[in-house]
Structure formats: structure tokens, C-alpha cells
Amino acid sequence: MDRSRTPARIRRASRRRTGLLASLAAALTAAFAGAPPAQAETPPPAAVSCPAELDGKATCYTGQDTHGAYYAIAVPEHWNGSLVVHAHGGPDLGTGSDPARSVDDLARWSVMVKEGYAWAGSSYRRGGYGTRMAAEDTENVRRLFVGNFGKPRRTFVHGQSWGGDVAAKVVEVYGRRGGPYDGALLTSGVLGGGSRGYDYRVDLRVVYQYYCHNMPRPTEPQYPLWQGLRADSTLTTAGLRARLQECTGYASAPQERTALQQHNLDDILAVTGVPERTLESHLRFAVFTFRDIVRDRLGGRNPFSNQGVRYSGSHDDKALNAGVERFGADPTAVRDLSYDSDLTGKVAIPVLTMHAIDDPTAFVEHEAAYLATLRGAHRDRHLVQTFTHESEHSALSDAEYANSIAALDGWVRTGRKPTPRTIADSCAAFDRVYATGCFYDPDFHPASYASRVRPRPGGLRWPAMTAAQEKRWSRTDGVGIAP
């Protein structure tokens, strides 16, 4: 790409889109209110005010793609010619595409734009689970960027949280050597895949019910716990918090809890390994997101199992294991969830990961699962993993994010693979700009996924879905999760 022509191209594009604003205003207002686009043809990106973090630093655009997914784009005033395509986490559970999501993500990841990269992110065409759908929408926004602003010099995909799984799927589906993506940055990624990555939440769901007996209550219609929540239940997140508080007193100071509440809380945390500060968020996933997966994506079939699992760490493990609800998975549901979200390790481009060692949501052992997946596919030469002494899931240091994308870019440009040590050493230069700290531990290696999450029978072998299985399943009509 000829960088000398880029600023003129951007200015011409900006003038064209500014001229369209008056005619598009009504349509965009309706779209951002949740109404479908009035035109049969999708309008081009419309220039909008940038988030405050990028005021005066970039030109920003929003729009909606042909599948109905809202998106946001930013082109920095001093563009380095490369693009970061962002895959967001979640999944959000709204029925349609959320127009605010991609704009919020742009503000959150403004560090990429400040570093000179153009940025594009999709809100995905709908809420709810669907890794391949989200990967396709991520690829769609890349194509949309190219169609409107030209082919970038280099293109990187960045995924955060569940978006790490989405971006890893982008790498496997679209990231062939010489293809549209040059590298991937996966941060705080849920990299164990769908068929195993939520087993600890399966365990939380059944252990919680054993102690609390309130989701459902004995007086309410009963349902198997693998459903997450009864299909027609009107329980809200506020209602879930109230029931969790009733049983465990989790929101109260320890001295304000009853003895039974403290006993329940202690056993739930000890058995599941879920941190106390994220207990509610994990339970929300095991209730509401499980319902989405089972009811809305798998037609009521069960992809989860806790057969063969022995729970330990409670005051009475014998009683717990005798009384906890048990169930086995429907093999077709496992197949469909696996095809949608498990990873084969079929990687052909550089992949850099960054993960907080004390991540309370996507445990750092997800990185061990990803390494085992790439090793199982004999592709681990394409992977560098970094770890930081931080304790948040999605709020790592801006200096580290800037350092990570620079390290990935350098790897792609030069062909020289960095090490955790060289990446840690290069962070100080970025911290002089962002002053958010560098917390790398280049000597850290996570324990196996099975050390943190109780494996199911057959769950010690990686990848969870082989490339051969993926190829075979792809030839069967109806396999996977519908967009």
C-alpha cells in the first residue's frame, strides 16, 4: 500500500461521507433506535463524532452491514497503514445487534488508534451464542473497511474474553498464510472452547442448587439444571442476585451473614474454585447464557455433562456427591457446540496472547488449553503467550496492550519471533506514554486446564475438535449453531 496517498484518500472519503450525513441522518437515527434500515441497499459508513478518548485524533464512522450487524470504524489522523479488527466478548444476550456495543468498544480500545492503527469492530448481527457467526461478522467488517478505505498494509485480529475464542476462530477459518490476516492478538481469552470451556460453570450450577435449593425453589416448576433456566421463566438478573444473597449473603459483610449463609458460601467457592468477587457473574452465565445456548441455539438439547465428576472441598463431600444433580449430554448437542466454538489449532499466522494470572473470569488455565490445542495440531511454533500479575479480566494496562500490538506487528514485519522476556522488556517505552504500568511475568507458565476444571471422560486430550472432525462435520447439513 502506498502510504503517501493514504491521507488524501482519507480526506476525500471523509468529504464524501460528510456530504451524505444529511440524507442518511433519518435512516441512521431509526437504525440506532433498533429499527431495520429503510433502504434495500446498505449505506456506506457514515462519519460521526469520535468517542472522547479519540477527539481530534481520528475520524470515526458507524453503520450496519448486510447481515444487520452494527459496526464502528476509526481511522487515525496519522494512520500507520495497518488495521486492527476487533472481536468483542460476551456474548451479549439481546435479540438484535446492539448499535452502542461497537462504539463502546472503540472507546475502550482507543489505545490501538492512538498507536496509529485503524480500528474496526462489529456488534455482531444478533445477541446470544454463536462463535462462527461472530467470526463471520468480524470478517465482514474487515471487508467493509477494505471496500471503503482500501487494503491496509497489514491486518490484525484482536479478540477479548469470549472474543478471544471468536478471534481464534477467525484465525482458523480465514487466517491462511497469505490471506487477509497477518497476525492475531488474543487477550483474556476464553480459549478452552465451548464444549469444555464452561464445565466449571456447569459444576457451579449444580453445586449452587444442591446448597441453595432456590433456582428453582421446591414450590416452582422444576427443570433439569443443564437448561440453565426454565425456558419460560421470568427471572431477571436482579432476581438472581436476590436468590444468591438469600442463600449465601455474598453481598453482605462476613459478620452480617448467618452461619448457614457462610457455610453455603464457603462450600460453593471451595468446590467450584470460582472467586468470590465474580461468583454472581459466573452464576449469571450458568443460568441465562446456558438457557440461550440450550433453548435458542440447540433446540432444547443438552450439550453439558457432569457424569464421572467427583466434587471435593466441601464440609461433606460424600453427601454432596450423593445429592448433586447428575446428567449426561446429548451427543448431537455436543457436536454442534463443539463445531461452533471449539478450536482445532489449525493456525498458520503469528498469534500472541496476553492473560492476567489472576483473571477471575476466564481462568489463566484457558491458555494451557490453547497451547495444548496448538501442540496437538503441531502448530505451536506460531504461538507466543505472555502473562501479567494483574487480577482483572478485561481491564489490563494500556501500556501492555500497546506493547502487545507493537510486538505482534514487529513479529509479522521481520519474521523474528519475540519471547515473553523481550516483550516484557519492551513495555517500559510504552509505559512512559500511558503510565498504566507493566506487570509481565516472563517466567510464568499456567498449570493444565484439568488442574483447574474437573475434566469429563475423554477431556484430557487436545484439541477438543480435530481438523478432521471439523471437516467431516462441515459436510453434514445442519451441524453447528445457526447465525
245-267 pLDDT tens trace: 999 999 999 999 999 999 999 99
Range among 174-178, 362-366, 392-396 rated most confident: 362-366
pLDDT of residue 478: 93
pLDDT of residue 309: 96
- Residue 27 in contact with residue 38, Cβ under 8 Å? yes
Segment 301-319 mean pLDDT: 97
Residue type, 480: G
> What is residue 354's three-state secondary structure?
strand
Segment 81-100 mean pLDDT: 95
Instruction: Classify residue 10 as left (phi > 0), alpha (psi -120 to 50) or beta.
Output: alpha
Check whether 142 has a pLDDT greater than 90. yes
Return the axis-axis angle of helices 162-174 and 131-149, rounded to nearest 10°. Answer: 70
Q: What is the 3-state secondary structure (H, E, C) of 188-233?
A: CCCCCCCCCCCHHHHHHHHHHHHHHCCCCCCCCCCCCHHHCCCCCC
How do beta strands 58-64 and 70-76 pair?
Answer: antiparallel
pLDDT of residue 367: 98
| Residues in Cβ contact with 39 at an 8 Å cutoff, skipping those fewer than 6 apart | 27
pLDDT category, 177, cuts 50, 70, 90?
confident
Segment 133-152 mean pLDDT: 97
Check whether 420 has a pLDDT greater than 60. yes
**93-108 pLDDT tens trace:** 989 999 999 999 999 9
Long-range contacts of 142-146 (CB under 8 A, 24+ apart): 142/83, 142/85, 142/180, 142/181, 144/45, 144/63, 144/65, 144/71, 144/73, 144/120, 145/73, 145/83, 145/85, 145/118, 145/120
Check whether 401 has a pLDDT greater than 80. yes
94 closest CA partner among 124, 135, 120: 124
How much of the chain exceeds pLDDT 90, in percent?
89
Check whether 354 has a pLDDT greater than 70. yes
- Determine whether 334 is exposed, middle or buried from the number of CB atoms within 10 Å of its CB (0-12, 13-18, 19+): buried
pLDDT of residue 394: 84
pLDDT of residue 29: 39
Element (H, E) at 60: strand 58-64
pLDDT of residue 34: 40
User: Burial code of 275-298, b = ≥16 C-beta within 10 A, e = fewer?
Assistant: beeebbebbbbbbbbbbbbbbbbb
**180-206 pLDDT tens trace:** 999 999 999 999 999 999 999 999 999
How much of the chain exceeds pLDDT 70, in percent?
92
pLDDT of residue 43: 83
- Residue 385 in contact with residue 347, Cβ under 8 Å? no
User: Burial code of 202-218, b = ≥16 C-beta within 10 A, e = fewer?
Assistant: bbbbbbbbbbbebbbee
In whole angstroms, give the CA distance from residue 13 to residue 62: 14
- Residue 366 in contact with residue 192, Cβ under 8 Å? yes
What is the rounded radius of gyration, in angstroms, for the C-alpha atoms of the chain? 23
How many Cα atoms occupy the beta-carbon half-sphere of 153 within 13 Å? 16
pLDDT of residue 241: 98
Check whether 308 has a pLDDT greater than 60. yes
| Peptide bond connecting 463 to the previous residue in cis, omega within 30 degrees of 0 | yes
In the numeric block, which cell numbers belong to residue 49?
463524532
In the numeric block, which cell numbers belong to residue 270?
471451595
> What is residue 160's three-state secondary structure?
strand
- Residue 360 in contact with residue 277, Cβ under 8 Å? yes
